[in-house]
A = this chain, B = another copy of it.
């Protein structure tokens, strides 16, 4: 482990700074015009995905220097560390072995791999019992609906996968509840029938505040419908390591599937946390999903730096972030079923790389992980694209584009594709004031008005972005896509010198939350909070009706 790495101390970093100063004045379209091979050469393929980075603000020299940077950071060795179970999560003294979950085997990690295989088999059995109608509720009716109760990594991943693979959906509908706001569960239960509903409680500790709170309400709901304590086992599964707490709740040991401390929440959709997905789309499809990710893992391990897709994405992330100064990154899937992808990637990237401390505990004085945001095209075009094209903030972007549709409506899908390519081209080219004026004149505006309006239609262009495309969105390409972003995240963490697998920054909020809850629950308790928090607590107290003080 090179825990003392500092990005800005790597030998090539100074050269990248010079290149950035130079390139900032150049139009990307010039690179494409001058260098006939660029449109093909600035692409790479892996695991059914194609990455086109020809519209990034880099020339061949910069690309070489970025590759050099990756070598100086010993990225290939750090990748082997990840895959071979080294303690990449140094603050928690753990490996991060999400790749083992989709592997066909790993000799060095045979013990852990045996557990993985056993858990996979248990997942398969659970899923198939539910899908076949063999698993029945307390009135002997077949289960028709599954509610996954989890938050963060126990929610965003399975939710995304279930929604993205809707064309593969079988007869059991999966729902997701995360928020501690009681409205979340209440709204979900409105349409469901206790007798045919099964809950999957996803919490490593079985103590996550939101998940436990919602699970208790779900249990009440089940009991109110007449389920006895011994009936609960027909309606609750748990993904947890805390078998004792689960048993006490009413979920017996045989209804529990394990999690491991060597899989982080945001990397866990491949584990038993993905059970709801396996139920929604069936075991074969879930296997394909794992296989797609496995193919990306092999690409990561084997491809040289120059054709390694996750490495390239991460070099571009660092280039845009640290050399060009972008504070955010937009993800724009042109596929309605990937509408939740930005939510998922928000957690993956911002929780992993939203750090200001190096692996060795030293302070970093350069920017690390950016804000990740976005939404599905074409909807964003009618929302925030105005700012992408004409705003003052640099927003590097990834377009994600399945080239065909599952809907059978090819003609309509063509419009979606045309829109995606058009946005990419418009971001590349922009248009000058003179071009804008010509366009206005051709649309019938008079000379004076065209002159006045032209600056409002002019756009600088030169907005760097990637296009990630695939033949179609299948379980395998979805798996590859999520693994791609996982690895981009890890590679960027190596370059930035941060630990992508801990999240100590969320601890303080939890501690303070517990303190404030006691103040809300007992008005007589003296508060030692700051004046602003005290005022908000008083405001909350005044707002409570007498009946609320149960």
Contact = CB atoms under 8 A, between A and B. Distances in A.
A40 interface: yes
Contact of A509 (B210, B410, B422, B455): B422
A441 interface: no
Given A38-B531, A403-B539, A532-B55, A379 B508 contact: no
A151 B29 CA distance: 31
A28 to B, nearest CB: 9
Nearest to A166: B187
Nearest to A154: B382
A459 B548 CA distance: 36
A114 to B, nearest CB: 30
Interface in A508-545: 508-517, 520-521, 529-537, 539-540, 543-545
A351 B386 contact: yes
A499 B457 CA distance: 13
A50 interface: yes
Contacts of A520: 414, 417-418
Interface in A426-480: 426, 428-431, 439, 452-460, 467, 469, 471-472
Nearest to A359: B456
Nearest to A383: B347
B509 A180 contact: no
Nearest to A93: B449
B404 A351 contact: no
A335 B405 contact: no
A196 interface: no
Contacts of A354: 384, 386-391, 393
A412 B209 CA distance: 10
Nearest to A347: B383
A52 interface: yes
Interface in A385-404: 385-393, 395, 403-404
A280 to B, nearest CB: 14
Interface in A105-120: none
A137 interface: no
Contacts of A170: none
Given A407-B186, A456-B502, A505-B390, A382 B421 contact: no
Interface stretch (A18-26, A70-78, A285-293, A361-369): A361-369
Interface stretch (A94-102, A270-278, A370-378): A370-378
Given A52-B535, A459-B505, A412 B213 contact: yes
Contacts of A367: 392-393
Contact of A412 (B52, B180, B385): B180
A508 B508 CA distance: 47
A514 B367 CA distance: 40
Interface string A299-343: 000000000000000000000000000011010001111000001
A3 to B, nearest CB: 11
A362 B39 contact: no
A230 to B, nearest CB: 27
B413 A459 contact: no
B469 A536 contact: yes
Contacts of A363: 455
A378 B152 CA distance: 9
A422 B537 CA distance: 11
Nearest to A451: B361
A535 B39 contact: yes
A383 B357 CA distance: 19
Contacts of A428: 530, 532
A391 B379 contact: no
Contact of A421 (B55, B376, B410, B537): B537
B418 A182 contact: no
A181 B39 CA distance: 27
A153 interface: yes
Contact of A386 (B386, B418, B506, B544): B506
Contact of A384 (B346, B515, B543): B346
Contact of A362 (B404, B410, B455, B459): B455
A187 B391 CA distance: 34
Given A180-B378, A418-B517, A531-B39, A506 B385 contact: yes
Given A39-B534, A183-B335, A361-B455, 5 more contacts: A181-B378, A353-B387, A371-B393, A410-B549, A467-B536
8 contacts: A181-B413, A350-B383, A354-B389, A363-B455, A369-B393, A390-B505, A403-B543, A459-B505
